[in-house]
Amino acid sequence: MAQFPMGDFDASTDRFVASWAAGISERAAQAQALSDQVAAISATAEGAQGAVRVTVAATGAMTDLRLDDRVLRWRADEIAAEVLAVLRRAQGRLAGQVAEAAAGTVGADSATARAVVSSYESRFPEEPEEEDPGYAGWSGRER
C-alpha cells in the first residue's frame, strides 16, 4: 500500500480546496454581475410608423407606452392590437441584450448563459417587423 507523507498530502489538499473555493467565488461574482446587468436591461419597439412606442423592462413588463395623435383615428380594437404587437416586438428584443450581457460576464458558451438566454428566448420569442396593418391614419390615409 502506498504511503503519502502527511505534510505533502495536507498541502495539496489545502491548495485544491483554496483553488476550488476561488473558482466558486469567481463564478458567483460573474453570476451576480450578469444578474445586475440583466436587471438593468430594457427594450423599446415602435409600430405604425412611430404612432405606437412601447418600452419593457427585463421582466418583459411594459414600463412606458407612447401613442401619438394618429391613433385617435383608429378604432379601439386597432389601438389594442397595435399596442400588443409592439409590446411583443419589444419583449422579443430582450433575449439579444441578455445574450450580450451573458457573453460579457459568464461567457457566451457557459451553461449559465445558455440557460438564461434560452429562458428569455422561450418566454419572449423574437417578433418579425410589421407590415402596414391598414389602420386609418397609420400611413397617412384617412378613412
Q: Each residue of 62-80: b (16+ CB within 10 Å) or e?
A: eeeeebeebbeebeeebbe
Taking CA atoms, 114 is separated from 10, 36, 104, 121, 140, in Å, by 38, 17, 13, 10, 44
Say if residue 133's pLDDT is above 70.
Answer: no
In a domain, 51, yes or no: yes
The residue-averaged pLDDT of 10-32 equals 75
Confidence bin at 141 (pLDDT 50/70/90): very low
Helix (H) or strand (E) holding 47: strand 42-47
In a domain, 26, yes or no: no
For strands 42-47 and 52-57, give the pairing. Answer: antiparallel
In a domain, 19, yes or no: no
In a domain, 32, yes or no: no
In a domain, 5, yes or no: no
- Global model pTM greater than 0.85: no
* Percentage of the residues of the chain whose pLDDT score is greater than 90: 62
In a domain, 95, yes or no: yes
HEC letters along 48-95: CCCCEEEEEECCCCEEEEEECHHHHHCCHHHHHHHHHHHHHHHHHCHH
Q: What is the CATH number of the domain that holds 106?
A: 3.30.1310.10
Mean pLDDT of the chain: 85
In a domain, 75, yes or no: yes
Residue for grid cell 460579457:
104
In a domain, 27, yes or no: no
Confidence bin at 2 (pLDDT 50/70/90): low
Task: Tell me the pLDDT tens digit for each residue of 30-76.
Answer: 888 889 999 999 999 999 999 999 999 999 999 999 999 999 999 99
